[in-house]
Amino acid sequence: MTYHFSATVRLPFEKAVETTKAALKQHGFGVLSEIDVQATMKEKLGADFRPYRILGACNPQMAYQALQAEDKIGTMLPCNVIVQEQAGGMIEISAVDPVASMQAIDNPALAGIAQTVGEKLRAVIGTIDAMARH
């Protein structure tokens, strides 16, 4: 089982980040955090790294349901979505598959929630792919 959903698009990096945020919003997610890995690696290590952004996405209703079912689920929230530059200027957008990540938790109440969030994140990736083609 793969642990992520991905799409590869031909967009400028910052446009891909904007498109990803718009698609997340369209599907009920907000971005709670944003980590610029490229800038962090340069600042902390002096290392050059490709453009790579981690967006901490949260669907408040789904997060609330998950927290009601499992009080320590916050260790796995928010759902991470990455935007990274690949060879040839292509941009890959990947979202975590919550079904795969929740397998480690022995709580059947989370299965349906993870499935729903996974469907929403898969739809986000599909929306990004469609938006990039237009």
pLDDT for the residue numbered 1: 63
Q: Please state the length of the chain.
A: 134
Domain that holds residue 82: 4-133
Report the DSSP pairing between strands 4-9 and 52-58. unpaired
| Cβ proximity of 114 and 122 under 8 Å | no
Model confidence, pTM: 0.94
* CA distance between the termini of the chain: 31
Q: Which residues of 58-75 are buried (b: 16+ CB within 10 A; e: fewer)?
A: bbeebbebbeebbeebee
pLDDT for the residue numbered 132: 86
Q: Tens of pLDDT along the chain (134 residues)?
A: 689 999 999 999 999 999 999 999 999 999 999 999 999 999 999 999 999 999 999 999 999 999 999 999 999 999 999 999 999 999 999 999 999 988 889 899 999 999 999 999 999 999 999 988 87
Q: Report the CATH number that the domain containing residue 109 is assigned in CATH.
A: 3.30.310.70
How many domains does the structure of the chain reveal? 1
CB atoms within 10 A of CB 50: 12
pLDDT for the residue numbered 66: 96
> Taken in order 18, 44, 33, 90, is the CA torsion positive or negative?
positive
